[in-house]
Structure 1
Amino acid sequence: MKFVRWFEAISRCEQKGESYVIATVMGSAGSVPRDPGAKMVITADDQFDTLGGGQLEFQLVHKARELLAAHKTPQILQKLENMPLAAKAGQCCGGSVSVMLEVFIKSARPVVVFGAGHVAKALMQILGALPRQVLWVDNRAEQFPAEDELAANIQCRLLDNPVDIIAQLPAGSELIILTHNHQLDYDLLKAALVRDDFAFVGCIGSATKTERFHMRLSHEGFTDTEFSRLTMPVGLAEVGGKLPMEVAVSISAQLLSRFNSGMSDDYEHNTGVARRKGLNWKDIKQSLTLQPAGKTEQQTSE
């Protein structure tokens, strides 16, 4: 297996929209396997580069994956760990290191795009450059580009009936409906309304199409409250234009506006602090206080 450097791993994770932790040696005392500045990257299922192996690396990977498992909403966290490298930790180095764990939590909720026409293709040019997982669904194989032309975060799904996937999507998914068929658009919207746990459901269309869909859904027993969960036409009205890329920019702007607003709201909800982020100097100074070189763990404790 090819050895992957930490900076290559970050690029991969960002392209795929995968959560990861950067572990960086910030300071050291005594004999240590790696010098300050050394880095490795840890994901839920893999690790890249090295901080010297052994118990130090094993413990850091375990701590990093605990942090990844404990946080689900998109955010960035920092945590400093002081790691003694004495016999108690299964290391014979005798020194200690301070390691910064930088946790980058990406959204686990995919953006699901139905339809592979001109607007959807333009949209993929934008979404492919963003740290979001994208599921692209259509029933026409010839409409999808070659796999090597797709960004790493985009997964194509060819389905005879795209409506079937609605029931399988995770809660919190964001749906963008851009198919070539008005009846398919309607069927997708109706299936999406049956569930009430999607973060966003948007559909391309004119005012006339919106009015007709509203009327049809009402006749099938859906309420105005349920219809209000749909965004139709999708996209920010402030972004004008009818060219495929103009429409794609409008839709992307709406998604980004919601996503970035959600990150801010999640941070305030989880911490109770709106403006202050990350570690403060007092915590950093305390965490970076290392054992003097040459002292053993037993001597320090005495």
Structure 2
Amino acid sequence: MDAIIIGGGPAGISCAIWLKKLGVECVVLEASAQLGGLQTRSPYENLWIPGVQGKTGQQVAASLADHAKAVSVDVRLNCPAVSVEEQQVTTPIGTFSAPYLVIATGSQPRTGGFTASDRVVIGPGTGMEALNVKGKRVAILGGGDNAFDQARFVRDRGGKVTIFSRRPPRAQKLLQDMIPDVPVVVGPYKADQSAMTLNGEAFDAFGIMFGFEAVVPQGLRPDLENGYIRVDRFGQTSLPGVYACGEVTDYWHPCVTTSAAHGIQVAKQISIKLQK
């Protein structure tokens, strides 16, 4: 085994596919039951991937999994990294070791102190879509792109939605302009999940859209920058033999395309190192 990849999202799978085609033996350790990372949460058409039209995020995830299977990438699902020490990864099914380790664990929605429930959804995607919002009062907390996107989807499904943002919204103007009829409350607010109130006003559901944070495996101690793993232009971390790619690094603008490209870059670097 030449390389271990922790994480089976776009960055990890792209890295694994290229390593395999470059003749480098690797294994992908994925904590969940399916490949695709955050794309598995998205039932929406992904309009941002060049050359990919009409596919939802979930279909993009399925395509990544199909490609990995087609080139015989060794994938271990339901196999979280319990702890990591140098190039040794302990999992529930055993310990893996290799000269090179790739961290592609991505990011996860910030909770902001809230707890997910049948009335509180954290992050965009399938959870929000599963909410019965028709005729219900829904508060979206946050001022970024996802907050305005999710507010639009709630409105379009018949919900009575209000956006609460502590600071002036930073969402793209295009997204803000799409929902001129949705109230946006800017300024400090007090949210009470147990009472389901915001500033004393009752709501049927909350959508928590506070952005994302890096998922760093337990036991790994690389240098961080703004909470994300710091890497050089080759994807190398501060730890010898340990690379990182995709949204866990916040190195490029976070999206499927840049994550895949970052994974490919790391794969090429590892193949070059192994040839020396």
TM-score by length of 2: 0.30
Bigger Rg, which one: 1
TM-score by length of 1: 0.28
Q: Larger relative contact order (C-alpha < 8 A, sep ≥ 6)?
A: 2
Would you tell me which structure has more helix in proportion to its own residues? 1
